[in-house]
Structure 1
Amino acid sequence: MSEKTGDKLGFWSIVLLAINAIIGSGIFLTPGSVVQQAGSKALVVYLIAAIFAAILAISFAAASKYVTKSGAAYAYSKAAFGKKIGFYMGVLRYFSASVAWGVMAVGVIKSTISIFGGNPNKAINVTIGFLILMAIITVINLFGQKVVKYVMNLATIGKLAALVLIIIAGVVLLITTGASSNLGQVDQLTQNGQKIVPTLTTTTFVMAIVSAFYAFTGFESVASGSEDMKNPEKNLPRAIPLAILIIAVVYIGVVAVAMILNPRALMTTKQVVAIAAIFKNEILRDVILVGALVSMFGINVASSFNAPRILEAMAREGQMSQALTKRTKNNFPIRTFFISVGLAIL
């Protein structure tokens, strides 16, 4: 297969791909549920979740140093345990990645409809939105890997900018208004005469960690297209842990600001993008909403890059039809892409 080296993902593009694959809707939509479960211990919960994610990410990064073929978990399982285990892992990872893509696509459509005041439970609205989203992602991919790389990089920068803005705006508000921290009062907040945060138990603490960990998932798919990366044996082991570190710092900063400024709004809001509820400024809220939409769109583009390459990797190893290795002149795995789109739709 002929391939332009300039179209491959370099180190910083891999870092951005990892961040894009991990940061989706979780940090924008669900931090309130984590705070409601863990109360004032929410920052500790996110730190523990980050440590678990880092341990797993380092394991994947170590494997990527020795196995540079595409497929991530599939390639690693095949190299370590043989063809049969590799095949089972490949099929499992491919179907789960494609179905997860479909779920995330529906999620972004429903969230978008809700944000703009529509009915997210109306099937026709979701169907039309889903098909439009898939059409846009298909066009992006048809232009080739170079365009996909730029779109993913821009989406990642956009979502990071929105999260960093939350942190900066929160710090500025604390300094300029002289507002006191609400961090110590989180556990005592009430609504309708009842405490919002229940008494913390081992069970609720563990469940909060699981909920927070969800916001860190996605790193396991980063190496799925390693053959489309420059020096994956060198760049992946450095890029994945760095991405986790950046994300952990940003997540903890965002949750800390939310808990200090307005924990009640964070836990009780009916807004789709819960994190926006901590601010009263409408412009700031709108910017955060845009950031959330960019984030959800970006993770769908990342899924369109990762999922098809798992199936393609299996075909290159002779465990699927060789016809699935066909790429366009723009280096686009067209057949595995449309099979993945079909599974996502189903």
Structure 2
Amino acid sequence: MPGLQRITSSLLRTKPVEQLTSDGEHTALRRSMGLIPLIALSVGATLGTGIFVVLGEAAPLAGPAVVVSFVIAALAALFSALSYAELASAVPVSGSAYSYTYATLGEIIAWVCGWCLLLEYGVSVAAVAVGWGSYLNEFLGSTLGWRIPDVLAQPPGDGGVVNLPAAVVVLLATVVLLGGIRESARVTTVTTMIKIAVLIFFVCVAVSAFDSSHLHPFSPYGVSGIGAAASMVFFSFIGFDAASTAGEEAKNPQRDLPRAIIISLGIVTLVYVLVALTAVGAVGVDAVSSSGASLATVLEQVTGRGWPATILAGGAVIAIASVVLTVLYGQTRILVAMSRDGLMPAVLSRVGRTRVPTVNTLIVGGVVAVLSALVPLGELVNATNIGTLVSFGLVNIGVLVLRRTKPDLPRSFRTLVPVVPVIGVAMCGWLLIHLPGVTWLAFTLWSAVGLVVYFGYGRRRSVLGKAGATEMVTPEVHS
């Protein structure tokens, strides 16, 4: 069956690591980011709506054991982060997991991964923007005594017609990105420091009212409740891989990308666990769950005054806006990589006067603005999680494959193989099975659309296919 074999070969052709590296070395993007901006990029993309808003939605699922849910989600992220770090040091290019799977698992798998990343980044930006609107209203109410009416601050299904603040923050972030990566990095670094300071302020105030009785019963809904909450709060850790999308704009990617990924995850995990523990300990699960702007509500109840909540809400407005900026950045760089490979239209990788992909950024910003204005937060969170977990699982598998097919490839960071990738895959699978059925249905439909796009457009225009490259997934196995 030569025809079937030829089709299979084309679907499983891998892009040589040397070619990926060459693409990164001859990039039209500007290399201007050192270790600190890369850490700020990852922390900035991660530390935001997850803890400011999703804590309030996850707490009812697990009770006080939501703290354990954060730890489980952090462990799942850690194992994947270690795999990301190795691949980022070996294949330092834009595209993140998409580029890594193209080098290890084949074109069709890379497409699926890239399509999942589009879901992860695009939908998570929309989810973050929706959360931003809640804190903006909290801030406006405490300072001006006025709130944006629900009809203009909530999406259809949540009591409104359009979430105008969510769309506005996406469009503002788009404008900043169009100004250039150096300017965007400066904004990200400053806003990341502000958000860390605000959360430290929260912990210091909340711990003063800590009452251990609020932690009993600790796990009223058992393991299933902890698992369901972990699947939801995993959203809080999405973004640590943002540094890997900056492989072509980092000054020293082999050295700095692995460090940025691991350091940023450590910072985020510590902050999340402290915030979740002090929030629940201070006011109890019910109070944490009572408001869209849950952390601001906790401070108001703890102090009996409005100014701490105002500080928290104001900091959250800045902090969450920075997440929109950094995740939107990651989305555009993944599209650059897919476009350069011919799987997406060439216009998406065209770089403008400010050395950024201008048309790409405008399209992504416009689509995400519409999405954030019209879709409720809960649906966005679950859709983001499933896309992320699938792509993380593929990255873990990619580490195993690349160790077998390219054992001598220079790597500035090596994780423990096969232990770390195997555990990473297992934990991603465990979290996946706890996602609701409607999320799986939506993901199935999204994947089907993606395959139609690939076979209708990407496969015929693949640069690798046109070059006649048919390197298989396992061209040579080394022991």
**TM-score normalised by structure 1 residue count:** 0.85
User: Equivalent residue for 2:148?
Assistant: 118
Deviation at 1:62, TM superposition (A): 1.4
SS in 2 for 1:228: coil
Deviation at 1:2, TM superposition (A): 5.3
Matched, 1:26 2:50: yes
Aligned residue runs from structure 1 range 198-217, under 5 A: 199-217=220-238
Letter in 2 for 1:168: C
Letter in 2 for 1:163: L
User: Equivalent residue for 1:132?
Assistant: 168
Instruction: From 68, 78, 83, give the equivalent of 1:44.
Output: 68
Matched, 1:187 2:216: yes
SS in 1 for 2:101: helix
Instruction: From 295, 299, 310, give the equivalent of 1:275.
Output: 295
Q: Is the 8 A contact 1:156 1:295 kept in 2?
A: yes
User: Equivalent residue for 1:191?
Assistant: none
Q: Is the 8 A contact 2:57 2:289 kept in 1?
A: no
**Alpha-carbon spacing, 1:34–1:85, altered in 2? closer, same or farther (3 Å):** closer
User: Equivalent residue for 2:83?
Assistant: 59
Instruction: From 77, 80, 88, give the equivalent of 2:104.
Output: 80
- C-alpha separation in 1, matches of 2:189 and 2:243: 14
Q: Is the 8 A contact 2:61 2:226 kept in 1?
A: yes
Q: Is the 8 A contact 1:68 1:233 kept in 2?
A: yes
SS in 1 for 2:365: helix
**Alpha-carbon spacing, 1:126–1:93, altered in 2? closer, same or farther (3 Å):** same
Matched, 1:245 2:269: no
**Alpha-carbon spacing, 1:268–1:305, altered in 2? closer, same or farther (3 Å):** closer
Deviations along 1:123-177, one digit per CA (max 9) or x if unpaired, are 6984643453244223212221111001111121111111011122234x35xxx
Deviations along 1:268-307, one digit per CA (max 9) or x if unpaired, are 533x311122222321111111122122211110122111
Deviation at 1:110, TM superposition (A): 5.1
**Alpha-carbon spacing, 1:108–1:267, altered in 2? closer, same or farther (3 Å):** closer
SS in 2 for 1:331: coil
User: Equivalent residue for 1:157?
Assistant: 193
User: Equivalent residue for 1:261?
Assistant: 282
SS in 2 for 1:68: coil
Deviation at 1:251, TM superposition (A): 1.1
Larger Rg: 2
SS in 2 for 1:59: helix
Letter in 2 for 1:156: T
**Alpha-carbon spacing, 1:240–1:268, altered in 2? closer, same or farther (3 Å):** closer
User: Equivalent residue for 1:144?
Assistant: 180
- C-alpha separation in 1, matches of 2:111 and 2:232: 30
Deviation at 1:313, TM superposition (A): 1.0
Deviations along 1:226-256, one digit per CA (max 9) or x if unpaired, are 1111222211111111111111111111122
User: Equivalent residue for 1:169?
Assistant: 205
RMSD: 2.6
SS in 2 for 1:227: coil
- C-alpha separation in 1, matches of 2:53 and 2:124: 17
Letter in 2 for 1:210: S
**Alpha-carbon spacing, 1:260–1:95, altered in 2? closer, same or farther (3 Å):** closer
**Alpha-carbon spacing, 1:87–1:54, altered in 2? closer, same or farther (3 Å):** same
- Range that drifts further, 31-40 or 15-24: 31-40
**TM-score normalised by structure 2 residue count:** 0.63
Question: Matched residues, percent identical?
Answer: 24
Gaps of 5+ in 1: 175-180, 189-196
Q: Is the 8 A contact 2:30 2:248 kept in 1?
A: no
Letter in 1 for 2:203: I
- C-alpha separation in 2, matches of 1:43 and 1:164: 17
**Alpha-carbon spacing, 1:208–1:86, altered in 2? closer, same or farther (3 Å):** closer
Deviations along 1:188-228, one digit per CA (max 9) or x if unpaired, are 6xxxxxxxx88332211211222332211222443123111
- Range that drifts further, 296-305 or 106-115: 106-115
Aligned residue runs from structure 1 range 325-340, under 5 A: 325-340=349-364
**Alpha-carbon spacing, 1:275–1:132, altered in 2? closer, same or farther (3 Å):** closer
Deviation at 1:106, TM superposition (A): 3.8
**Alpha-carbon spacing, 1:132–1:317, altered in 2? closer, same or farther (3 Å):** same
Q: Is the 8 A contact 2:214 2:285 kept in 1?
A: no
User: Equivalent residue for 1:177?
Assistant: none
Matched, 1:105 2:129: yes
- C-alpha separation in 2, matches of 1:186 and 1:94: 38
SS in 1 for 2:76: helix
- C-alpha separation in 2, matches of 1:127 and 1:208: 26
**Alpha-carbon spacing, 1:11–1:30, altered in 2? closer, same or farther (3 Å):** same
Q: Which gives a bigger RCO, structure 1 or 2 (Cα 8 Å, sep 6+)?
A: 1
